[in-house]
Structure 1
Amino acid sequence: MNKMNTNLSIPNIFTVSDGTGETALSIVRAVRVQFEHAEMHIERYNKVRSREMLEEMLLSAKNKNATVVATLVDPELRVFLISRSMQLGVKVVDVLFPLLETLSEQLGRRPSSIPGLLRQLDEGYFKRISAIEYTVRHDDGVISCDLPEADIILIGVSRTSKTPLSMYLGHKGYKVANIPLVPGIDPPIELSKVDQNKIIGLIIDPTRLAEIRVARIEALGTNDIGDYADIEKIFEELEWSREIFKKNKRWPVLDVTGKALEENSVEIEKIILSRFPELSDE
C-alpha cells in the first residue's frame, strides 16, 4: 500500500458570499470530512457586495494559492468573480451551478440570478470554460486571428457595458468579443472579415454615460474629468458612433440605458439566436 505524502502543503480555502457565507462553509466542511478531516486553512469573506472587496479577496487568494468557494447571488458580482479569477489564475468553484441548472430545466424558466460555474467534468462545463476563456482573451478591443470564432461581437464607445455584458454572456456559454469605438478612428478592419450578423452595436443616453464616466474617474482617485466625461464631447462621440452604425445596416443597435445586465443580455441573446438558432443547443 502506498503511503500518503505527508509533506504536501496544507491547502488554503477561501469562502466568499454576499450573505452570511454559511452555505459555502458547510460545503467545505462536508468535503473535508471525506478526507478524514484533513487540515485546511479556511478564510471566510462574508457580505461581499462590491467589486473592490472581490478584487482584494482574489489578490489574497492568488498570493496564497487558495481555492475560492463562492455562493454569490448578485449576478454582476458573480460575472466579475469568474472573469477576474481567470485573469489572475485563481481557481473558483461556484457551488450553486448544478442545482440551479437542473431546476431551471425542470421548471422551464431561468432562476432569478445567473447560474454559477462549478468544476464538473462534463461537456457543458468545458463549453462554458472555453467560452469564458475566449471572452476574457477578446475583452476591450483585443483582436486575434480567431475573432471569426466569436458567437457575438459587441461594439460601442467606452462605458457602454461592453465588458460586463461580454462576461455575462460568456458565462452562459457564448464566445464574445467586445471592441471599443474610438472617436475619429474607423472600426478595426478585422470586423469586415467576420460574419456581420454577429455584430451588435451598443448605445446609451449621453447624460447617463457622463454620470458613469465621472464615477469611473472618481473611482480611479482623480478629479481630472477632461473630454472623457464632458457632456458636449459625449454627445459628439455618441452621434459619431450612430453614424458608424448607420453605415452597417446588418448591425442591430441596442440601447442599454437604465436596463439591468440580465435584461440587456436577454435582448442580445434573442437577436443572436434568431440569426444563429444552432447556438441554442450550446
Structure 2
Amino acid sequence: MLKQTDTSVPNIFTVSDGTGETAISIVRAVRVQFDHADIHIERFNKIRRREMLEEILLNARNKKATVVATLVDPELRIFLISRSMQLGVKVVDVLFPLMETVSEQLGRRPSAIPGLLRQLDEGYFKRISAIEYTVRHDDGIISSDLAEADIVLIGVSRTSKTPLSMYLGHKGYKVANIPLVPGIEPPKELENIDQNKIIALIIDPTRLAEIRAARIEALGTDDIGDYADIEKIFEELEWSRKIFKRNKRWPVLDVTGKALEENSVEIEKIILSRFPELMDE
C-alpha cells in the first residue's frame, strides 16, 4: 500500500517495463527548469503485467499523479492508454510520439527493440488511433470528423455506450457514442453520416432503474431528480424506441443481462456484415 503524500506537492509516477532510467532522467530534467521545485516522484520499474499497471493507475488517480511512461511493450501501452483515459489519469508517453515520427520518416516500422514482447505493426498503430478517436467522441462529443467513425452507438443514459465504445476501440474500431436526452432530438450531425454505421441500444426498464440507482449511490447524492424513477424510465425508453423506429437502418440491440463481450460480438457482426472491408484492415 502506497503512503499518502502532501496534495500540494505534484506527484509523478514513472512507469517502465525496463529499468526506468529514461523516464527518471526526463522528469529530473523538467524539474531543473522549475528551480528544482518540490516534486514527489515514485518509480515503478519492470512492469510486465496488466495487473501491475492497474494498481499503479488506481494509486495515480487517488494521488492525482501524472504518469510518465516509457513502456515499449505494445500490449501494455495500449492497456495503459485506454485504462488511464477511463480513470481520468494523465499520462505522458515518452517513447511513442518519437517512435511514430521516426517510423514515418524511415518508412518502416520499429523492430528489434529490447524488451519488446510483440513487434509493432500496423494493427498496433491502428488500435492506438482508434482508442484516441473513441475517447474524443465519448458521450456525445461531436466533432467535424464524426464521419470517420466505424461505429456510432446511440441510446439513453446508462445503456453501456461508453464501456462498449472503449472495448470496441481497444479492438481497433473508431467508435462514437451519442446519448439520447428525453425531449431532445438526436444531433443533426448524425444525418450527414452513413446510417449503416449507427446502432441503437435498448435495455429493460427495471434493470436500467437498478443501474441508475446504483450510480446515484456511488456518486453519494440524491439530488438527481427523476433520473432513476421507474415511470420516467419507461417513458424515456418508449420515447427512444420511437426515434429508433423512424430510422429504419438503425438496428436495435437489447443489452439487458448480457456481458460486455457478448454485446460487443453482436455489434461487430452487424458492422462487419455491412462493412466487410473493416475485417481486412
Per the normalisation by structure 2, the TM-score is: 0.68
Q: Establish whether residue 32 from structure 1 lines up as the match of residue 19 from structure 2.
A: yes
User: Aligned runs of 1:138-217 on 2, under 5 Å?
Assistant: 138-217=137-216
Q: Quick check: 2:69–2:91 contact (8 Å CA) kept in 1?
A: no
The one-character-per-residue Cα deviations of 1:206-254 (angstroms, maximum 9, x if unpaired) are: 1111111111111111123421000000000000000000000000000
Show the counterpart of 2:68.
65
* Secondary structure in structure 2 of the residue aligned to 1:228: coil
- Do the aligned residues in 1 keep the contact of 2:67 with 2:92 (CA within 8 Å)? no
**1:40-119 mapped onto 2 (5 Å cutoff):** 41-42=43-44, 54-58=57-61, 60=63, 62-63=65-66, 65=68, 81=83, 83-84=85-86, 88-91=90-93
Output the CA distance in 1 between the equivalents of 2:46 and 2:205. 41
* CA positional deviation for 1:281: 1.5
Q: Deviations over 1:137-164 (max 9, x none)?
A: 0000000110001000000000000000
Matched-pair contact (CA < 8 Å) for 1:86–1:133:
no
Counterpart position of 1:252? 251
1:26-62 Cα deviation digits (max 9, x unpaired): xx4xx33999xx9x9227999979x999544346484
Please state if 1:281 is matched with 2:272: no
AA matched with 1:278 = E
User: Does the residue aligned with 2:19 lie in a helix, a strand or coil?
Assistant: helix
Question: Normalization by structure 1: what TM-score?
Answer: 0.68
Q: 2-side partners of 1:250 and 1:267: how far apart?
A: 16
Q: State whether structure 2 residue 123 is matched by structure 1 residue 124.
A: yes
Once the two structures are superposed, what CA deviation does each residue of 1:58-101 show, in whole Å capped at 9, x if it has no partner? 4648435356799x9xxxx98961533787235499xxxxxxxx
Cα displacement string for residues 161-205 of structure 1 (whole angstroms, at most 9, x for unaligned residues):
000000000000000000000110110000000000000000000
Contact 1:67 1:91 in 2 (8 A): yes
- CA distance, structure 1, for counterparts of residue 219 and residue 140 of structure 2: 21
- Cα distance, 1:125 vs structure 2: 1.2
CA distance in 2, matches of 1:174, 1:234: 30
Alpha carbons of structure 1 residues 42 and 61: separation in structure 2 relative to 1, 3 Å: farther
Rounded Cα–Cα distance in structure 1 between residues aligned with 2:157 and 2:132: 22
Query: Are the equivalent residues in 2 in contact too, given 1:204–1:257 (CA < 8 A)?
Result: yes
2:82 and 2:50 mapped to 1: Cα distance?
Answer: 16
Match of 2:108 in 1: none
Query: Offset of 1:124 from its aligned partner?
Result: 1.1
**1:207-246 alignment, distance < 5 Å:** 207-246=206-245
1:83 to 1:203, Cα distance in 2 relative to 1, 3 A: same
Q: Structure 2 vs 1, CA of residues 281 and 86 (structure 1 numbering), >3 Å: closer, same or farther?
A: farther
- Which runs of no fewer than 5 residues in structure 2 stay unpaired? 1-11, 26-41, 96-116
